[in-house]
Structure 1
Amino acid sequence: MTSKSHSERDCVESVRTTLDWLDDHDWAGPSDESFDAAFALLADQRRRLLLTVMRTYGEELTLPDAAEEVAVRETGHNVTNISAERVQEVYLSLYHDHLPRLVDAGLLEYDQERDLVAPDGI
């Protein structure tokens, strides 16, 4: 028998916690497809961080400000210690990949003219 790494134990615990939560809430309504779609949206750390940022602020933010905040949470560093290139990379991935998925799902709103992201029911 091999011992599990810390991250493997965390993963197992997260799965158990999620399954317990689902059992406790007697989910008769949502289909398996909706759960699959929800888990797919949450599968990417950067999308989870963006959703967390938007929930934390609870109001619209410019996408550059949201990208800075996501970069801070990804790196654990103060924004002054993160390169402009890193923030730009986060911004571009949010703009081209993650934000459209979250907007299409109805979790966020985006005003492209003003470059503003707003929570939508999160």
Structure 2
Amino acid sequence: MTATPHPESDCVEFVLSVLENLDTCEASAETIDNAFGLLADQRRRLLLQVMRTYGESLTLPDAAEEVAVRETGRQMPNISAERVHEVYLSLYHDHLPRLTDAGLLEYNQERDMVSPAALR
């Protein structure tokens, strides 16, 4: 009988890998906790991935569309406008302020543009 890989074992391996990297990290416990807090939400991770992928300023609506595509695994024509709007609102009101406060992204509200700050 062959063992089937369990998602939990992937998680264990990932945690062990992170812990190994933390052993050599010189950041304070508070900095590490803050970083994990920022990365705790999938939508924030996806927004950071989108901004790293493009490496340039995007309108927040374009970033929201790309986050929705990555969340659903579907292409834009197959994602409802309501879903994209919900992603936009959550980015605007929750995730983007956290990431800009942390210095990872910059946001120009007048132009509704998101820029990678520390991700460059």
Q: TM-score range by the shorter chain?
A: over 0.9
Q: 1:106 — aligned with what?
A: 103
Residue 25 of structure 2 aligns to a residue whose secondary structure is coil
Specify the code of the residue in structure 1 equivalent to 2:98: R
Specify the code of the residue in structure 2 equivalent to 1:27: C
The unaligned stretches of length 5 or more in structure 1 are none
Residue 64 of structure 1 aligns to a residue whose secondary structure is helix
- The aligned length equals 117
Q: Spell out structure 1 runs of 4+ moving beyond 4 A.
A: none
Q: Is structure 2 residue 34 aligned with structure 1 residue 37?
A: yes
Q: 1:9 — aligned with what?
A: 9
Q: 1:121 — aligned with what?
A: 118
Residue 106 of structure 1 aligns to a residue whose secondary structure is coil
Q: 2:21 — aligned with what?
A: 21
Q: TM-score, normalization: structure 2?
A: 0.92
User: Partners in 1 of 2:102 and 2:4 — Cα distance?
Assistant: 35
Task: Note the alpha carbon deviations across 1:48-94, whole angstroms, 9 max, x for none.
Answer: 00000000000000000000000000000001100000000000000
Specify the code of the residue in structure 1 equivalent to 2:35: A
The unaligned stretches of length 5 or more in structure 2 are none
Specify the code of the residue in structure 1 equivalent to 2:25: W
Q: Report the alpha carbon displacement of residue 7 of structure 1 after superposing the two structures with TM.
A: 2.5
Residue 12 of structure 1 aligns to a residue whose secondary structure is helix
**Identical-pair percentage:** 71
Residue 74 of structure 2 aligns to a residue whose secondary structure is coil
Q: Is structure 2 residue 89 aligned with structure 1 residue 92?
A: yes
Residue 77 of structure 2 aligns to a residue whose secondary structure is helix
User: Partners in 2 of 1:74 and 1:4 — Cα distance?
Assistant: 26
